[in-house]
Amino acid sequence: MTTQSTAEPRPQVQELDRVTIRFAGDSGDGMQLTGTQFTRTTAAFGNDIATLPDFPAEIRAPAGSLPGVSGFQISFSSNDIHTPGDAPDVLVAMNPAALRTNLADLPPGGALIVNADAFTANNLQKAGYAENPLSDGSLKDWNLFEIPISTLNARALDGLAMTSKQVDLTKNFFALGLMFWLYERSMEPTLRWIEEKFSSKPVIAEANARALKAGYAFGETTEIFHTHYRVKRASLPPGTYRNVTGNEATALGLVAAAQLAGRQMFLASYPITPASDILHQLSTYKHFGVKTFQAEDEIAAIGAAIGAAYGGSMGLTSTSGPGIALKTEAMGLAVMVELPLVVIDVQRAGPSTGMPTKVEQSDLLQLMHGRNGDAPIAIVAPATPAECFDYAIEAWRIALRYMTPVAYLSDGFLATGSEPWKVPSVADLPSIAVEGWTDRETFRPYRRDPETLARPWAVPGTPGLEHRIGGLEKADLSGNISYDPENHHRMTQLRHQKIANIANDIPDLQVYGPSRGDLLILGWGSTYGAIRSAVERLQAEGHAVAHAHLRHLNPFPRNTGEVLGAYRRVLMPEVNMGQLRLLIRARYLVDAVGLNKVRGKPYRIAEIEEAARLLLTEGAAQ
């Protein structure tokens, strides 16, 4: 075995605060599984973690090709962390294509573990390498570990009744085992998982277990790695934790909302990346009274959700940007008939088909304005994967209390990224139940609750409340068709006021940092982690920099203007061309500056830090 390690001899065990690992390989190499297993183990161990999967839109692009590369990054720490890490400390590259597409992210001196067996002429060519980088000296700036993973793994599986192709499919577990050794993780959770998963295929189970153990043993017994690392448990607040992705937390939050409201939930959806998993997961919750329906398209999906809402269920629809574009006409109908409805948008990079598996925050204005007529709806947006749980409930609270459609904005990074979630006790969750209307005497289809301006939810089947609703303008109170000019003006204002009033019923915008100062960084959605980390760094240097993160995007919290006014400058990083910024500027006439990178990737902390520094120095120069 050849190794060109340039690592200095180091002590046997080294303690680290934080480590970031990226697994990268061919889509067929099982990188997502490898990453997930490392994540589970690490989460269960008690580190704080954050993950970032990154995979191609193709189901299985040609083996060895550049577009076929799939990656999974995990950052874990003994402290509270907010992002999956700007740059990996360790890159595991299972083939030349993975090396080529990921190397630029690995800082010089970083550890680079490659499967040397994969650097064949054919694979090198597919990756566009004229020379073998392992031998042409081009990797000298990194701490390179060349390991013939395929060979070693095959040897470990010797004797099992498997084809060589099957054997090769387990090599990711060899790599995983090696990383487990390197970072002092237990193999137990993964071994248990293997056992369960392949209970009906004992040979495959045996093979995977052997691969894992072989990788672990390789680390232990060879001398390539002069050391291994320890990242202590994080001191998270007490509680029971689990690791969740945003899509998982969203689905759990939705089920919880149904239980808290005491109503049947009805999800009608049409598959689309990266939202489909919410449909998949909810379709396994029938014993919670959750009905799911895969419609013929997005229009039918929202139509069915509205139908269910009309019938008294919690009508729900989930999609991504292109699907929202198809739902807007029906969302307008829901505004006019004032029924509760939650519309989930797991955003991806646009416009049009765009980059389906990549993150972007560019549907905010579509949800805010993308309907004919003046048709306001409420909008909420969780900031982290775990928060998805809370905001799924919050979306429902608003929808039910105000009889209105609510948009819930997640994105590809939140959806597939993960973090530890402190599991709440059910007893601590809010009740969001609302009563249907039954009283005949006082019933008027558009009589409003004086506080919320919500109209009664009078569902078919309720005797004596037979009435008609529809998309034509409704007469105040009676709900009959009305072309009366004054009525239309009044109803338009009522629809606006109803949404605006929600501001009285949501928490103030919180500020992290000084309550006034030089710079406020204002964000929303999945930029949370990067902004918070950047602000922490700047604060540590003594800058008067604060972070505020909006979760309610329509209406805004009541103190938003006040908060914005307390800082000399406002910086708004968004993974779009400035959508929230437009709304903030229009509303508060604050000259907020945008940071707008749309690369299909989450922000790196450094990018935000840099933009912030620029504004801070600009100020100093004045």
Ligand X SMILES: Cc1ncc(C[n+]2csc(CCOP(=O)(O)OP(=O)(O)O)c2C)c(N)n1
Smaller CB separation from other proteins, 175 or 308: 308
Q: How far apart are CA 380 and CA 387, in angstroms?
A: 11
In whole angstroms, the minimum distance from the beta carbon of 58 to ligand SF4 comes to: 7
By a kind-dependent CB cut-off of 5 to 8 A, residue 117 interacts, out of ligand X, a copy of itself, ligand SF4, none, with: none
Q: Which DSSP string corresponds to 392-413? A: HHHHHHHHHHHT-EEEEEEEHH
Q: Contacts with other proteins in 563-602 (CB under 8 A)?
A: none
In whole angstroms, the minimum distance from the beta carbon of 388 to ligand X comes to: 21
Per CB under 8 A, does 490 bind other proteins?
no
Q: How far apart are CA 70 and CA 53, in angstroms?
A: 8
Smaller CB separation from ligand SF4, 62 or 578: 62
Per CB under 6 A, does 67 bind ligand SF4?
no
By a kind-dependent CB cut-off of 5 to 8 A, residue 60 interacts, out of ligand SF4, a copy of itself, ligand X, none, with: ligand SF4
Query: What are 524's two structure tokens?
Result: 């929303």
Per CB under 6 A, does 60 bind ligand SF4?
yes
Q: Which of 142, 198, 288, 588 binds other proteins (CB under 8 A)?
A: 288
- 8 Å CB contact between 178 and 215: yes
Q: Contacts with other proteins in 349-378 (CB under 8 A)?
A: 352-353
Per CB under 6 A, does 305 bind ligand X?
no
Q: Which residues in this chain contact a copy of itself in the complex, by CB under 8 A?
A: 56-57, 67, 320-322, 324-326, 328-329, 332-333, 335-337, 349-356, 358, 360, 362-363, 365-366, 368-375, 470-473, 483, 485-486, 488-489, 492, 495-496, 576-577, 579, 581-583, 585-587, 589-591, 597-601
Q: How far apart are CA 148 and CA 182, in angstroms?
A: 17
Q: Contacts with ligand X in 448-487 (CB under 6 A)?
A: none
Smaller CB separation from a copy of itself, 179 or 502: 502
Site size toward ligand SF4, by CB under 6 A: 2
Between strands 341-347 and 405-411, the pairing is parallel
Per CB under 6 A, does 323 bind ligand X?
yes
In whole angstroms, the minimum distance from the beta carbon of 195 to a copy of itself comes to: 37
Query: What are 262's two structure tokens?
Result: 């005491």
In whole angstroms, the minimum distance from the beta carbon of 245 to a copy of itself comes to: 21
Within 13 Å, how many C-alpha atoms sit on residue 203's CB side?
9
- 8 Å CB contact between 531 and 482: no
Smaller CB separation from ligand X, 49 or 346: 346
- 8 Å CB contact between 538 and 496: no
Smaller CB separation from ligand X, 322 or 424: 322
State yes or no: cis peptide before 274, omega within 30 of 0: yes
Per CB under 6 A, does 271 bind ligand X?
yes
- 8 Å CB contact between 88 and 73: yes
By a kind-dependent CB cut-off of 5 to 8 A, residue 577 interacts, out of ligand SF4, ligand X, a copy of itself, none, with: a copy of itself
Smaller CB separation from ligand SF4, 2 or 353: 353
What are the two backbone dihedrals, phi and then psi, of residue 409, each rounded to the nearest 5 degrees?
A: -105, 110
- 8 Å CB contact between 70 and 62: no
Q: How far apart are CA 543 and CA 541, in angstroms?
A: 6
- Choices 142-150, 175-183, 200-208, 235-243; region in contact with other proteins by CB under 8 A: 235-243
Q: Which residue has the tokens 């190794």?
A: 3
Map residue 616 onto helix, strand or coil: helix
Q: How many CB atoms lie within 10 A of CB 108?
A: 8
Q: Which of 208, 243, 410, 576 binds other proteins (CB under 8 A)?
A: 243
Smaller CB separation from a copy of itself, 236 or 494: 494
As a residue count, the chain comes to 622
Q: Which residue has the tokens 């597939």?
A: 416
- 8 Å CB contact between 607 and 531: no
- Residue numbers at the binding site for ligand X (CB under 6 A): 270-272, 298, 322-323, 326, 353
Binding site for ligand SF4 (CB under 6 A): 59-60
